[in-house]
Amino acid sequence: MRNIFLFIRRYFNFLLFLLLQAFSIYLITHYNKYHHAVGSAMMNEVTGKINNQYSEINEFFLLKKKNKDLHLENERLRNQLRLNFETPDTTNRLVIDSIPFDTLGNHRKWLYQNARVVSNSVSAQNNFIVLARGAAQELMKDEGVVDTNNGVVGIVTDISENFAVVMSLLHKDSRISGILKNDPNGGGSITWDGKEPNYLSFSNVRQSAKAKKGDTVITSGITPTFPYGMMIGTIDEIRADKSTNNFIIKIKTTANFYNLQYVYAIKNFQREEIDRLVEKAKSRNL
């Protein structure tokens, strides 16, 4: 309090000048129509700029919530796509199944579940991604994971109550099936050599395939992990392997592993039935 009085005493003349100046401006703008109009216009301009700055700051702090809302909306829209449903063949028998249906009576096969990335590595030989979604949020092991542009990211390998671990495509043990978008007969295996993040190897592709630099590589759909047509990457380098009849292909990933914030895990409602059939077939061969 003492410092306040000392401040007022020290700058009394200056403060009195500011007060009288403000009062003079008030009298001029209040009792003179022209100055009143000019003053109002200036105040509106200043107020507008302040409100605009406040609005931009407020928008910035709301970005996180809007981003989350946007991914929830994208999840809802993705789950309405026709490719996520299959029409059962009822030509020979009546099909009664517990798989959810859409409004047209089609079986749902694929379900997208959005998840936030809380941890991600790209510089190790075996890279993993941690998602803030787990068993309590109906996530399961072996689900495929894609980014917001349908670029393949990896496969869920471990689940806890509220988190999940994804084996990234940038993992030495990662192996998925891919095909050329322009030539479905040009199929092979997608692996990582542990050298460059965002670059993968596309092996076992025959030289008879119509492959060239810039071509798109997508998921083949022959496994229950990913739907057909998820983007894996584009061919960055291609050359013939003289020792075999295959190409040596290097692809640049669609997913940017340096900047993963939100992803989608893809649940296959038919997976359990497929797995049961495969296990039954294996047991017969033992």
pLDDT classification of 32: cutoffs 50, 70, 90: low
Alpha-helix residue ranges (DSSP H) falling in 32-137: 33-78
Give this prediction's pTM: 0.66
Q: Give the pLDDT confidence score for residue 60 in this predicted structure.
A: 60
Residues 56-115: tens digit of each pLDDT: 666 666 566 667 666 666 766 666 655 555 554 443 333 334 445 555 556 678 888 989
Domains of the chain in sequence order: 113-284 (2.40.10.340)
Q: What is the pLDDT, as a whole number, of residue 238? A: 93
CA distance 136 to 146: 20
Q: How confident is the model at residue 24 (pLDDT cuts 50, 70, 90)?
A: confident
Question: What's the pLDDT score for residue 151?
Answer: 93
% residues pLDDT > 90 (the chain)? 37
Of residues 239, 215, 120, 233, the one with CA closest to residue 176: 233
Q: Would strands 216-219 and 199-203 be described as parallel, antiparallel, or unpaired? A: unpaired
Burial 218-235 (b: 16+ CB within 10 A, else e): bbbeeebbbbeebbbbeb
Q: Are 30 and 22 in contact (CB under 8 A)?
A: no
Share of the chain above pLDDT 70, in %: 70
Spatial distance between the Cα atoms of 156 and 130, rounded to a whole number of angstroms: 9
How do residues 227-286 score in pLDDT, each as one tens digit? 999 999 999 999 998 888 899 999 999 999 998 988 999 998 888 888 888 888 878 766
Coil, strand or helix at 18? helix
Tokens standing for 179?
């095909």
